[in-house]
């Protein structure tokens, strides 16, 4: 467990690190966010040729696709791959690995202390515009940037868990010529031997970003108290999800929802017209297509305890529903009854896959 200090911008430092890995043949490929043009188009580049590394923007404050989903497509790999990803994407992938949707073997994970990302819509409208101006200075001064997503503002897991390499951004002064790279695993130390820079024995100290943590936790409390109207109840649920158009984009981009065919899109929920006619005779009116609330509450039941709060569901929602905030709010509760933190530990089983003989007596009449 050691630290490398480079005298460069962190993004340059990481590019240098990736070049080192490719040049020395220590990895065969790199997966990282890549800029396509000046208009703000990005994608994830899966790169084997070092000359392609120039377009990489490792800490682009935008999430264009969930790297966790992409990792499922490229693992298990017989070649060593270095991946640059956000802490929540890494946690999302750990959850996927637990569901046998990929593996961390042969993967070197490089993450950063994350200042959050811009909403997708704002980002595609022009990430190179004025929006990023304060972003990096806010990182240094441990402020919550005003334009980042609601979910990011309330995220307390901005320090990567389980990453091989952590680049420290939050709370670091002078991000113009100071790149702090923490090596958290033995394989990271081996692979990065000979990178240069100043090396010392030091682990990441959460005190560096404690100021932001405090603000994030406060913001989280504020968000969770305000996102859900009143005392809740079915009317509140309808108020939030009433404008859902049923595209199910939220479940398709979700790193946890890995099912090829979702239960809620299956024939299980098809009904004869006679069924609707009967329901109509009882209620006088019903919504079509049906089961909008069933879909959202049902999805919460199926996956919320593993929700890593990556926020992509809110990003892709055409109706601007704060899906991520509502799901994370519930997910915090469902995970906490199992003392579970999604993505914390690969060895920690998914709560529904294990049990203890004596537990949860408050939920059962025994």
Partner 1 sequence: MNDTERSAARMRSPEGIRGSLHDFLKIAVDKGAVDSVLAPVKVPAENSYAWILMNDPAVIESASPVAPVMPVQGAKALKSLTRKGKGESRILAVMRPCEIRAGIELMKLNQVHFDNIVLVSYDCPGAVPFQDYVKDPGFSEESFGKMIASGRPGEENIKPACGICTEFSIVDSDIHFGYFGVDEGSAFVIPVSEQGAELLDAIGLDRDAKIADWESEISSIRDKRTKKRTETLSAAGERIKGLDGLINAFRKCIGCHNCMSVCPICYCRQCYFDSEVSKKDPDFIFEIAEKRGAMAFPRDKVMFHAGRMTHMSLSCVSCGFCTDACPTGIPVAEIFSYMADITQPTFEYIAGKNNGEPLPLRKFEKKELPLVHEIVKSAEGEEGSDE
Partner 2 sequence: MDKKYVPRITSFLCKWCSYTGADLAGTSRLQYPTAIIPIKVMCSSRVDPVFILRAFLKGSDGVLLGGCHPGDCHYETGNYHTRRRFAIVKTVFESLGLEAERIRLSWISASEGPKFARVANEFTETIIAMGENPVKKKIFL
Based on the shown chain and the rule CB under 8 A, indicate whether residue 144 belongs to the binding site for partner 2: no
Q: Are 56 and 21 in contact (CB under 8 A)?
A: no
CA separation for the pair 225, 80 (Å, rounded): 44
Print the binding letters for residues 213-252 with partner 2: x by CB under 8 A, - otherwise.
Answer: ---------------x-xxxxxxxxx---x----------
Based on the shown chain and the rule CB under 8 A, indicate whether residue 257 belongs to the binding site for partner 1: no
Contacts of 116 (CB under 8 A, 6+ apart): 61, 144, 145, 148, 149, 152, 153, 155, 158
Question: Which of partner 1, partner 2, none does 294 bind, CB closer than 5 to 8 A by kind?
Answer: partner 2
* Minimum separation from the CB atom of position 314 to partner 2 (A): 18
CA separation for the pair 91, 129 (Å, rounded): 30
**Residues numbered 21-40 forming contacts with partner 1, rule: CB under 8 A:** 28-29, 31, 34, 36-37
For residue 356 the two structure tokens come to 């203890």
Based on the shown chain and the rule CB under 8 A, indicate whether residue 80 belongs to the binding site for partner 2: no
Question: Residues 316-322: contacts with CB within 8 Å, 24+ apart?
Answer: 316/120, 316/249, 316/250, 316/252, 316/253, 317/249, 317/250, 318/245, 318/247, 318/249, 319/243, 319/244, 319/245, 321/240, 321/241, 321/243, 321/244, 322/150, 322/227, 322/240
Question: Which of partner 2, partner 1, none does 260 bind, CB closer than 5 to 8 A by kind?
Answer: partner 1
Q: Of 225 and 281, which CB lies nearer to partner 1 in the complex structure?
A: 281
Q: Of 72 and 292, which CB lies nearer to partner 2 in the complex structure?
A: 292
Q: Of 194 and 284, which CB lies nearer to partner 2 in the complex structure?
A: 284
Q: Of 173 and 283, which CB lies nearer to partner 2 in the complex structure?
A: 283
Identify any residues that bridge with 165 across adjacent strands, giving them in sequence order. Answer: 110, 183
Identify any residues that bridge with 83 across adjacent strands, giving them in sequence order. Answer: 31, 109
**Residues numbered 275-304 forming contacts with partner 2, rule: CB under 8 A:** 282-287, 290-294, 297-298, 300-302, 304
Window contacting partner 2 (CB under 8 A); options: 50-58, 84-92, 187-195, 357-365: 357-365
Window contacting partner 1 (CB under 8 A); options: 12-20, 108-116, 154-162, 248-256: 248-256
Give the three-class secondary structure for 165: strand
Q: Which of 217, 224, 302, 311 is nearest to 263 (CA)?
A: 302
Window contacting partner 1 (CB under 8 A); options: 11-19, 70-78, 177-185, 323-331: 70-78
Based on the shown chain and the rule CB under 8 A, indicate whether residue 75 belongs to the binding site for partner 1: yes
Give the three-class secondary structure for 320: coil
Sign of torsion over alpha carbons 138, 142, 145, 149? positive
Binding site for partner 2 (CB under 8 A): 228, 230-238, 242, 263, 282-287, 290-294, 297-298, 300-302, 304-305, 329-330, 333-334, 337-338, 351-352, 355-360, 363-366
């Amino acid at each position: 467990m050691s630290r490398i200090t480079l005298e460069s911008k962190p993004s340059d430092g990481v590019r240098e690190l990736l070049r080192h890995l490719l040049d020395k043949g220590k990895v065969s490929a790199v997966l990282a966010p890549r800029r396509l043009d000046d208009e703000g188009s990005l994608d994830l580049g899966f790169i084997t040729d070092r000359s392609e590394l120039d377009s990489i923007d490792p800490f682009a404050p935008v999430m264009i696709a969930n790297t966790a989903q992409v990792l499922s497509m490229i693992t298990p790999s017989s070649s060593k791959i270095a991946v640059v990803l956000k802490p929540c994407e890494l946690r999302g992938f750990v959850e996927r690995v637990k569901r046998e949707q990929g593996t961390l073997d042969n993967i070197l994970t490089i993450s950063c202390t994350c200042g959050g990302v811009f909403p997708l819509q704002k980002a595609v409208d022009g990430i190179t515009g004025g929006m990023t101006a304060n972003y990096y200075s806010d990182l240094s001064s441990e402020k919550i940037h005003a334009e980042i997503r609601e979910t990011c503002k309330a995220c307390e897991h901005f320090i990567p868990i389980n990453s091989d390499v952590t680049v420290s951004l939050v709370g670091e002064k002078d991000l113009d010529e100071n790149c702090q790279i923490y090596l958290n695993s033995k394989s990271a130390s081996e692979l990065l031997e000979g990178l240069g820079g100043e090396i010392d024995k030091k682990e990441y100290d959460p005190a560096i970003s404690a100021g932001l943590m405090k603000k994030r936790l406060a913001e989280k409390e504020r968000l969770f108290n305000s996102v859900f109207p009143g005392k809740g109840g079915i009317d509140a649920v309808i108020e939030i999800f009433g404008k859902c158009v049923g595209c199910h984009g939220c479940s398709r981009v979700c790193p946890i929802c890995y099912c090829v065919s979702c239960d809620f899109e299956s024939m299980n929920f098809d009904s004869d017209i006679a069924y609707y006619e009967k329901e109509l005779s009882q209620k006088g009116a019903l919504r079509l297509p049906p089961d909008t609330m069933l879909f959202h509450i049902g999805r919460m039941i199926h996956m919320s305890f593993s929700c890593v709060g990556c926020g992509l569901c809110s990003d892709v929602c055409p109706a601007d529903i704060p899906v991520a905030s509502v799901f994370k709010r519930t997910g915090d509760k469902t995970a906490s009854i199992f003392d579970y933190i999604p993505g914390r530990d690969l060895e920690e089983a998914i709560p529904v896959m294990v049990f203890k003989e004596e537990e949860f007596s408050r939920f059962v009449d025994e």
